[in-house]
């Protein structure tokens, strides 16, 4: 199992992240102007944040609005001796969009996205049944998405602080 070493973020890093959470397409020139530093400083900081895995810039879509009609969560009970192998096998499946190790009654939770229920049944019966170490699964189909956020940390607070002092 890999150990995640967090990157130490200073106030400038947090402000950059706050602005990018508001507008992921904001230019380095605009960021530099807002923060009173050079474009080169912003470029270096963003690269460091990307290289360390803290920041990933992408377009986020709603699968249901794109015709991917089946979004489901699958809870897994796994034979602990096979946990790493099960994780590797699930990570390799393109249908799996989110995978976490959990505490409680289940060992893993995955979110899967598929075009239809038929393909979900195929995933459950044909693909998952072939993975050694899965003891059992429980599946819940998402009917509607009411909240989907990707700003995992409150960096917006740093932008508001900057605006009130600027």
Q: What is the pLDDT of residues 49-75, one digit of tens each?
A: 999 888 887 777 777 777 778 899 999
CA distances (Å), 79 to each of 62, 73, 119, 123, 124, in order? 33, 19, 26, 20, 18
Residues 51 and 78 in one domain: no
Residue-wise pLDDT tens digits, 80-97: 999 999 999 999 999 999
Residue 16 lies in a domain: yes
The total of structural domains in the chain comes to 2
Q: What is the pTM for the complete model shown?
A: 0.68
Range of the domain at 123: 63-142
Residue 131 lies in a domain: yes
Residues 92 and 137 in one domain: yes
What is the distance in angstroms between the CA of the first residue and the CA of the last residue of the chain? 45
CA 45 to chain centre: 21
- What are residue 49's phi and psi, to 5 degrees? -65, -40
Q: Which residues contact 7 (CB under 8 A, 6 or more apart)?
A: 48, 49, 52, 54
Residue 165 lies in a domain: no
Residues 83 and 113 in one domain: yes
Residues 76 and 114 in one domain: yes
Residue 33 lies in a domain: yes
């Amino acid at each position: 199992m890999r150990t995640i070493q967090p990157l130490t973020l200073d106030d400038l890093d947090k402000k950059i992240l706050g602005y990018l959470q508001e507008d992921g397409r904001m230019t380095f020139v605009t960021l530099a102007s807002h923060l009173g530093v050079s474009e080169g400083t912003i470029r270096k900081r963003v690269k460091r944040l990307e290289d360390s895995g803290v920041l990933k810039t992408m377009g986020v879509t709603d699968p249901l609005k794109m015709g991917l009609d089946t979004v489901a969560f699958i809870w897994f009970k796994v034979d602990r001796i096979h946990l790493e192998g099960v994780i590797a096998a699930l990570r390799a499946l393109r249908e799996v969009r989110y995978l976490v190790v959990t505490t409680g009654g289940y060992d893993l939770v995955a979110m899967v996205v598929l075009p239809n229920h038929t393909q979900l049944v195929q995933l459950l019966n044909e693909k998952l049944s072939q993975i050694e170490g899965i003891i059992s699964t429980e599946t819940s189909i998402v009917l509607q998405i009411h909240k989907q956020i990707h700003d995992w940390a409150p960096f917006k607070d740093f932008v508001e602080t900057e605006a009130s002092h600027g």
